[in-house]
Chains A and B, each alone.
Chain A
Amino acid sequence: QKEVEQDPGPLSVPEGAIVSLNCTYSNSAFQYFMWYRQYSRKGPELLMYTYSSGNKEDGRFTAQVDKSSKYISLFIRDSQPSDSATYLCASFRIQGAQKLVFGQGTRLTINP
């Protein structure tokens, strides 16, 4: 079982829809949570970074962490075609081999 699990999709929604992307992680050794966005033929870039449970909002994007259920979510409001990309969740493991662990990535397409 992967330490950070993410549905790879693909996910296709109409423009303007609310998008929900989700990940789960395996245990409490994970303490920092990130979402990266990767456009085709580019490297990933950080979209959101949260340290603790709760919500963090940045424009049309909201990252949510629920440590009790080990669940990480990214919501995109008023989705645009320019949001079409692969979204990768990631979490930093602070115990044992300390490193950033990525989910498989979800490929998202927003249709005009």
Chain B
Amino acid sequence: DVKVTQSSRYLVKRTGEKVFLECVQDMDHENMFWYRQDPGLGLRLIYFSYDVKMKEKGDIPEGYSVSREKKERFSLILESASTNQTSMYLCASSLQLTDTQYFGPGTRLTVL
């Protein structure tokens, strides 16, 4: 069974703080993704990575950066958190781009 884990289920940060969200998958998947999920907007892709050290912008990359130093780990970084980044953040992985994406449980981030 594929397992995708995220470092925190709930996180509260202050405006201007640097925030790190970590994601780890255990199935040797090539592709990893970061989404945010907001009511009425569904899942929106922030960034994805198709290989170690490779990344591609998604639909809403502004205010975020990512890091993939190891195949199993994909980090999302909020350089200077703002209140409009309060959201549910979901990480996913897949073997091929068109394959099933396996999601982690999500991190609910609140920025005060």
Contacts and interface: CB of A to CB of B under 8 A. Distances in A.
Interface residues of A, number: 21
Given A88-B43, A98-B97, A44 B103 contact: yes
A99 B45 contact: yes
Contacts of A92: 97-98
Interface string A74-105: 00000000000000100010100011101111
A99 B90 contact: no
B40 to A, nearest CB: 6
A99 B48 contact: yes
A43 B4 contact: yes
Interface string A31-69: 010100000011111100100000000000000000000
Q: Please list the 6 inter-chain residue pairs (A to B) with the smallest Cβ-Cβ separation, ordered nearest first.
A: A43-B103, A104-B42, A102-B43, A46-B100, A102-B42, A44-B103
B40 A104 contact: yes
B58 A99 contact: yes
A100 B42 contact: no
Contacts of B103: 43-45
Contacts of B92: 43
Nearest to A6: B42
Nearest to A49: B100
Interface in B84-101: 90, 92, 97-98, 100-101
Nearest to A104: B42
Nearest to A4: B42
18 contacts: A6-B42, A42-B105, A42-B106, A43-B105, A44-B43, A44-B90, A44-B103, A45-B103, A46-B100, A88-B43, A99-B97, A100-B101, A102-B42, A102-B43, A102-B44, A103-B42, A104-B41, A105-B43
